[in-house]
Amino acid sequence: MIGAEQEESGGIAAKRVVTKLKLITGKEWAVVIGGAGDAAIAENAMRAMEKELHQKEPLSEQGLMDIADKVLDSIHTKYIDKDKNSEGISLVIGAVCGNELHLISTQNRVPQPQEYIAYAGIGADIGIFFIDRLHRINADWKYSATVAGFTLQQAMEACRYCGGESEIYVLQRPPNPRWRSLGTEDAPTEFVNRFNSQVVARHLEGFLRSIPSVSEHYIGYRDEHNPEPISISEADKWFKE
């Protein structure tokens, strides 16, 4: 489960909507990369990783590490090391390769495999606080999506530089869709609107049991088998039915 808010600050007051997650797919794999820090450099790093990934079949954790290592070294040499005021970048890389799931975070030039949690950017401190307490190793993707939505909401409320709509991707092993996008309109907002902050974990479970499939019908939802986003009219039709 990889999520990000979609707002970038420029100076004190200027803000714009940006996409901070990049989905890259291959024949037997899917990768989602999230970038924090200098937006232009992070975008260049994602594009460089995409080019390298498409030359890698089959893809493994070591292959991901090698690509991240190569791209980070190039990006730092070309951009970050030359600018003493550069804020640098941090990446979070999630991947499903065949039947394996992988999570990698980066710090400066160094990629590091993670067991189940990775974070980057402004708001990460409050984010990791909630994820660490609410994450369950055996939870299904819907429970995890709710945790991700709640965590994004709390990070945005705690930091004036975060905002905009949330974006959440789900990566799964086959025979499930290797990737899902929960859309950027209503899904994360609807998840977090149901929360009672005093009994979060218990409420998450009850909420998800009460709507076993509703998250697959939010506006903008798409997955590996249905790559076109669900439209407003399609969502309205489903809810009426």
Instruction: Decide if pLDDT at 128 tops 50.
Output: yes
The predicted structure's pLDDT at residue 227: 84
- 190 exposed, middle or buried (CB, 10 Å; 0-12, 13-18, 19+)? middle
Across 14-49, b (16+ Cβ under 10 Å) vs e yields: eeeeeebbbbbbbeebbbbbbbbbbbebbbbbbebb
**pLDDT tens by residue, 181-240:** 887 654 544 555 554 444 555 555 555 455 445 455 566 778 888 888 766 566 555 545
Q: How many helices (H) and strands (E) does the chain have?
A: 7, 11
CA distance 239 to 241: 5
**Collapsed DSSP state (helix, strand, coil) of residue 25:** strand
Q: Do residues 52 and 71 lie in contact, with contact meaning Cβ atoms separated by under 8 Å?
A: yes
2-240 CATH choice from 3.40.50.300, 3.60.20.10, 1.20.1050.140, 3.60.21.10: 3.60.20.10
pLDDT over 90 at 54, yes or no: yes
User: Which of these ranges, 12-16, 63-67, 71-75, has the smallest mean pLDDT?
Assistant: 12-16
Classify the C-alpha dihedral 124-21-23-74 as positive or negative.
negative
pTM above 0.85, yes or no: no
Give the tokens for residue 11: 């100076």
SS3 22: strand
What is the rounded (10 degree) CA torsion for 116, 120, 123, 124? 30
* Among the ranges given (154-158, 178-182, 213-217), the one the predictor scored with the smallest mean pLDDT: 213-217
Q: How far apart are CA 182 and CA 192, in angstroms?
A: 14
Residue 18 contacts by C-beta under 8 Å, 6 or more apart in sequence?
A: 6, 7, 8, 39
Cα distance between residue 23 and residue 25, in whole Å: 7
The residues facing 17 across adjacent strands are 7
Terminal C-alpha separation, the chain: 29
| Residue 18 reports pLDDT greater than 90 | no
Q: What is the pLDDT averaged over residues 74-102?
A: 94
pLDDT for position 70: 97
Is residue 181 within 8 A of residue 169, CB to CB? The reply is yes
**pLDDT band at residue 61 under the 50/70/90 scheme:** very high
Instruction: Give domain limits for the chain.
Output: 2-240
